[in-house]
Amino acid sequence: MSAIFSPVANAEQRIEMEIARDLAKHAVYLAPVAIVAGFVAARGAGALGALIALVVIAGNFLISAAMLGWAARVSTGALTATALGGFVVRLGIITVVGIGVKQLHSVHFPTFCIVLIAAHLGLLFLELRHVSLTLAHPGLKPEKEKA
């Protein structure tokens, strides 16, 4: 793999994407629980609301990681601009999706909102256990080798 020049050191490592993929993987694991909870709360509309919320959260993490990873390979200025601009853009997209979901009668909106917040915070707190923060592995902790 050819080295990519960037003012940001370790820019060639896709650290953000590694974390976001792990978050999305955990969101998939969490999906059955959230969908069943949504179904218990408001039948099919609740289950659909929970599913849409999880897709929105996972998509948000992945888009954020892709944008920040790209910006880190460009420059520190681009990283700053992308972090702030990306926040506004993604918040706008989530708002538009939320307004759209609210118009749908087949989706239970309070369930969508509760799952959106709970899954976002829950996934992040869960992810903190998997983050390594060492010089050798700045992203996730390496998995234990199976005997």
Partner 1 sequence: MISQALLAVTDKGELKDGLSAVGYGLAAIGPGIGIGTLVGQSVQAMARQPEMAGQVRTTMFLGIAFAEALALIGFVVKFI
User: Which residues of the chain form contacts with partner 1 (CB under 8 A)?
Assistant: 8-11, 13, 15-16, 19-20, 60-61, 64-65, 68, 72, 76, 79-80, 83-84, 87-88, 90-91, 94-95, 98, 102, 109-110, 113-114, 116-117, 120-121, 124, 127-128, 131-135, 138-139
Alpha helices in 104-135 (DSSP H): 109-128
Closest to partner 1 by CB, 43 or 102: 102
Taking the complex as a whole, the smallest distance from the CB of residue 37 to partner 1 amounts, in Å, to 17
Taking the complex as a whole, the smallest distance from the CB of residue 138 to partner 1 amounts, in Å, to 3
Q: Give, in order, the Cα–Cα distances in Å from 111 to each of 52, 95, 141.
A: 10, 16, 33
Q: Which residues of 31-46 are buried (b: 16+ CB within 10 A; e: fewer)?
A: beebbebbbebbeebb
Taking the complex as a whole, the smallest distance from the CB of residue 147 to partner 1 amounts, in Å, to 29
Closest to partner 1 by CB, 54 or 72: 72
The sign of the CA dihedral 27, 28, 30, 36 is positive
Taking the complex as a whole, the smallest distance from the CB of residue 64 to partner 1 amounts, in Å, to 7
- 6 HSE (CA, 13 A, CB side): 20
